[in-house]
Amino acid sequence: MNGRERQLGISIGTLVVGIVLWYVYDSIASSLDKQASAVSTASDKLEEKQKQLKIAQRAVKRLREYEGKSLPADGELARSLYQTWLLQSLEKAGLRDLKLNVVGVRNRADSSQLHTFNIGCRGNLQQFTQFMHDLYSVDRLQRVRRLSVKPVADTKDLDIGFAIEAISLKGADHTDRLNDKPTKRLQQADLAEYERVIVGRNLFAPANRAPKIASVGSQTGYPSQSLRFGVKADDPDKLDQVTYKLAEGAPPGAKIDPKSGDFSWTPKEKGQFTATVIATDNGLPARSDTRVIKIAVTDPPPPPKVEPVKKKLDFDDAKYTFVTAILDIGGTWEVWLTVRTSGTVHKLHEGEKVNIGSIEGKITKVDASMVEIETPEQRIQVALGDNLLQNVSKPTGL
């Protein structure tokens, strides 16, 4: 074999080997592609199954959560319990003229029951806000389906109508009571914050104006004696009602009537005191006014001097009593006062008492021609032969 034949043989051999290698590679690559495709398909199916499993797990978890929030599965019991709770919550909020109608139960395809309650009532925005806060503070399967609010003319009330829906699930956790677990879906911290946001706007009336307490002057009291005075506040909003209370720091034992504003206190000791009165209306939101009242507790003043009241006689014996004799008996003057209506003769000396008719006193001076009688009101000089009321009197002390 010459060189050309050898070279040709080598080339043909190389070509055959290449063809064989390419065939082997193609077979292996085709097999690997099929395996990769099968793996990819299996992986996709596995991923889909995992997704479905996760969805099912979430659904089961959600169902378990719903069963914890559900009304009891027994529809009749659920309606009774929920209706009782509604009435108690409405009354607790202060809503009045309650009308509650149970529409009935609607069975759903998912084996649940839908309970619908129609409610009508009357009250103010603050009361309704409190009820709604109570409703949404409990984690139950419930919702307000319909709501209408209408102001009542010439009052501070609202006519309120709404419908509430609640659900019973077949696998409910609670079989004989309602779930009362607090909810986490409320945005605000407490009822007061909702009242500030909702009630503070009061969409159904003009802005509330504060009452004004009329001026109350300083007061004076006495130990162990009751002190009373009235506090009055005028409210520019005529439909508002005003209540009164004492702020902290009032004298111990002091009270004020919340409706009338009548203040009462019996001090125990002398001193200077203050009482702060707060008058608050029932507007939305409520407004207040305060007034600081100064109270001085001192010794009581002395009782007023009571002048004796001279009794007015229908028939005055003094007018008919005469000085009939003035005698010197052993150096002592003796006066004879004769009451002509009775014939009685009073024989008296200086310093002795006289009590005849309207004349009550004593004889202070006697001489040969006259007698002087002093009473609490006046001094009377009566001449011999005159009656006790005849002569002009002189004021006491002259």
pLDDT of residue 395: 47
- The secondary structure of the chain, three-state, reads CCHHHHHHHHHHHHHHHHHHHHHHHHHHHHHHHHHHHHHHHHHHHHHHHHHHHHHHHHHHHHHHHHHHHCECCCHHHHHHHHHHHHHHHHHHCCCEEEEEEEEEEEECCCCCEEEEEEEEEEECHHHHHHHHHHHHHECCCEEEEEEEEEECCCCCCEEEEEEEEEEECCCCCCCCCCCCCECCCCCCCCHHHHHHHHHCCCCCCCCCCCCEECCCCCEEECCCCCEEEECCEECCCCCCCEEEEECCCCCCCCEECCCCCEEEECCCCCEEEEEEEEEEECCCCCCEEEEEEEEEECCCCCCCCCCCCCCCCCCCHHHHEEEEEEEEECCEEEEEEEECCCCEEEEEECCCEEEECCEEEEEEEECCCEEEEECCCEEEEEECCCECCCCCCEECCC
CA distances from 105 to 68, 76, 122, 165 (A): 20, 9, 26, 10
Compare 43 and 2 and report the one with higher pLDDT: 43
Of residues 395 and 4, which shows the higher confidence score? 4
pLDDT digits (tens, 9 = 90+) for 283-310: 888 899 999 999 999 999 888 876 666 5
Looking at residue 392, its pLDDT comes to: 45
pLDDT class for 253, splitting at 50, 70, 90?
Answer: very high
> Does 75 have pLDDT greater than 80?
yes
pLDDT band at 397 (very low <50, low <70, confident <90, very high): very low
* pLDDT reported for residue 310: 58
Residues 219-237: what's their mean pLDDT? 94
Predicted pLDDT at 396: 44
Q: Kindly indicate the confidence band of residue 391, based on its pLDDT and cuts at 50, 70 and 90.
A: low
pLDDT single digits (tens) 110-168: 678 999 999 999 998 889 999 999 999 999 999 999 999 999 988 888 999 999 999 99
Q: Mean pLDDT over residues 231-246, rounded? A: 94
Assess contact for 296 and 220: CB atoms under 8 A: yes
Is residue 222 over pLDDT 50?
A: yes
Write out pLDDT tens, residues 267-281.
999 999 999 999 999
Please report the pLDDT score of residue 183 as a whole number.
85
* Mean pLDDT along residues 189-204: 80
**pLDDT at residue 388 above 50?**
yes
pLDDT value at residue 41: 81
Q: What is the pLDDT of residue 195?
A: 83
Query: What pLDDT does residue 167 have?
Result: 92
